[in-house]
């Protein structure tokens, strides 16, 4: 059920910005697989899926740093070496178990049919983002894809959001970010852009309502109910 928290809705949203991990796609199984591959290679115990889920959202380097820190904080050199193994493994296993969330594809089709511009905006590196979108046949829905290394700063900095609005020559008030975590709400607030959060994503033990988004969605299809 859609929970509307902001009286300014429905949102015009000529541009809809969508987070990737935990919003469009459940990537946690393959991220956990890659992280645990590295941990096992180092002779460490693998981490539980629920633990890895809590590390998602700040890019894979930070995910790997936190996974290693479960037992011992890594040096930068140790993290660099771990990232080589992580990147090689994850790049070869991007979609072994990852799946598009229910309602996502149909919602993207509907948004595109309505003439809205769509942006995928993620902290995941481009080397992983583009193959995932392409192999799941989602890439062509987006007029712009901004990965974690596309710009000098990433979420929670507002730069990617402001860049997307400027790219389509729209004011931030005519854009809407859809995400699942504090990074998304912080970036949106800093950009003064409306933001909706999905309940099924990666936000740890913190309910998305505690992030004070403008709307809460249980299913991506509910996004259509809050747009003008």
pLDDT digits (tens, 9 = 90+) for 21-76: 999 999 999 999 999 999 999 999 999 999 999 999 888 999 999 999 999 999 99
19 annotated ligand binder: yes
Residue 195's nearest CA partner among 156, 151, 137 is 156
**What are the sequence ranges of the domains in the chain?**
3-26+99-226, 28-92
The strand pair at 117-121 and 15-18 is best described as: parallel
Please give the pLDDT value at position 59.
84
85 annotated ligand binder: no
CATH topology of domain 28-92: DNA polymerase; domain 1 (1.10.150)
Tell me: pLDDT of 2 over 70.
no
> Which CATH number does 3-26+99-226 carry?
3.40.50.1000
**pTM of the prediction?**
0.93
Mean pLDDT of 165-172: 99
The set of catalytic residues is 19
Buried b / exposed e over 24-45, threshold 16 CB at 10 Å, is bbbbbbbbbbbbbbbbeeeeee
26 annotated ligand binder: no
* Position 203 confidence tier, pLDDT thresholds 50, 70, 90: confident
């Amino acid at each position: 059920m859609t929970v509307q928290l902001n009286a300014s809705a429905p949102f015009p949203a000529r541009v809809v910005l969508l987070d990737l991990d935990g919003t469009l796609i459940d990537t946690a199984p393959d991220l956990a697989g890659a992280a645990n591959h590295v941990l096992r290679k180092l002779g460490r115990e693998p981490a539980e899926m629920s633990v890895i889920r809590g590390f998602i959202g700040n890019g894979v380097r930070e995910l790997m740093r936190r996974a290693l820190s479960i037992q011992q904080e890594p040096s930068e050199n140790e993290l660099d070496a771990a990232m080589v193994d992580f990147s090689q493994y994850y790049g070869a296993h991007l979609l072994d178990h990852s799946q598009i969330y229910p309602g996502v594809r149909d919602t993207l089709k509907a948004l595109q049919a309505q003439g809205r511009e769509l942006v995928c905006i993620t902290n995941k590196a481009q080397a992983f983002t583009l193959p995932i979108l392409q192999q799941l046949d989602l890439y062509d829905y987006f007029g712009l894809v901004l990965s974690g290394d596309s710009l000098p700063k990433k979420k929670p900095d507002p730069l990617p959001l402001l860049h997307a609005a400027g790219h389509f020559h729209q004011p931030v008030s005519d854009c809407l970010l859809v995400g699942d975590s504090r990074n998304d709400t912080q970036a949106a607030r800093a950009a003064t852009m409306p933001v909706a959060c999905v309940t099924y994503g990666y936000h740890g033990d913190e309910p998305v309502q505690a992030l004070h988004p403008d709307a809460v969605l249980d299913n991506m299809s509910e996004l259509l109910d809050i747009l003008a």
